[in-house]
Amino acid sequence: MKAATAQDALNLYHAFLQAGKNPEPEQTLATARLPFWEDAANSDLVRLGKKWVTHDAQRRHTEAQDHAKRAIDLLVAKEEDKGLKELKLACSLEPDSSDARLVMGIWHAVADHDYAAARADFDVCDKLQPNDSATLNNLAVAEVLAGANADFADKAYYHFRMAIERGDVRTPIVHNIKRVVEQRGLMNLKMPERLANEFEDLSHASYEESGSTSNDKRGWIYILPGAQPDRLDEASLDFGMLGRLDKLTIDPKSAPAWAEDRLCMTCRGRLQVPCTNCVKGLVPVQRKVINVFPNGQKTTGQVTTAGACNVCHGTGLMTCPDCKGKGT
């Protein structure tokens, strides 16, 4: 039985010690712990998860959770400014909790595609709650998508591996690792061959252990706080395309478990890519020229000049061939 308050726990300790039928090691250990519970009871502490906190801290936790829930409702309703304000309030009320900060990071990643901001939020979460699988997964995905240098890819591998080594082979984590392997060339990830091989080995090992089936239609998956998603068809917080919230898909039996980033990896959501038919909108054009000499003699020839590309009409950009200009 778990005591809800420190006073309840102290009463249990007193009852245990007064029973007088306990093995000596247990009696000694309980006696040694008694001063802690007396202090906790005098401070009127209450249980909050695995921690003992004051009533004020419990109240702030409840308020923070309420703000975080309202934030998700507002973000789904496309009231982004109000939603982010609620998230910031939740973070300020409970700065030692990672839940609201985790949602903030997911918003930066999925809606804004600001992976630097997302990484900063997830990094704070990792410090507040080390070795949490959801945080490790989300941090690794943001590092992959930031992709500015090989160092990010190394960190992403480290965080994915930590999540797997903790025995967490939930489908979203396994799915994301497989996407790194499949999307590496398309994303032009700066990744040495050694690291690419390590990602492939991790992907194979995690798939064998989890028995997961691949769903190639899914994008990058971020796990929400407290979620236990085992399948990618569970409840999803759908942020929609190109940074706009679309809808909230909820299984009546469960809360949203994850959010999906469907950003096209070819155009990165920009709808267009550099034209493959030209260089910055220009193509070589052969033109016929006629030279007339002073004696009246004429010669003809050809010269190469730059002309506007007839594919991109001189803009240097073409519709993304992979997403067909949809961005996802």
Q: What is the structure's pLDDT at 324?
A: 82
Beta strands in the chain (DSSP E): 46-48, 51-53, 220-223, 236-238, 247-249, 258-261, 272-274, 282-292, 298-308, 317-319
Q: Give the end-to-end CA distance of the chain in Å, rounded to a whole number.
A: 50
Q: What is the structure's pLDDT at 121?
A: 92
pTM: 0.66
Return the H-helix or E-strand segment holding 95.
none
Q: What is the structure's pLDDT at 234?
A: 45
User: Which domains are present in the chain?
Assistant: 6-53 (no CATH), 98-261 (1.25.40), 272-319 (no CATH)
Q: What is the structure's pLDDT at 159?
A: 92
Local mean pLDDT, 10-residue blocks, the chain (328 residues): 75 79 78 81 77 80 83 77 87 82 86 86 90 90 77 87 77 84 70 85 78 62 69 44 32 54 71 86 82 76 82 89 77
CB 72 within 8 A of CB 83: yes
| Site of tokens 């306990």 | 22
Q: What is the structure's pLDDT at 4?
A: 78
| Site of tokens 């630097």 | 116
CB atoms within 10 A of CB 48: 14
Distance CA 242, CA 111 (A): 7
Q: What is the structure's pLDDT at 194?
A: 87
Burial class (CB in 10 A: 0-12, 13-18, 19+), 220: buried
Q: What is the structure's pLDDT at 231?
A: 45
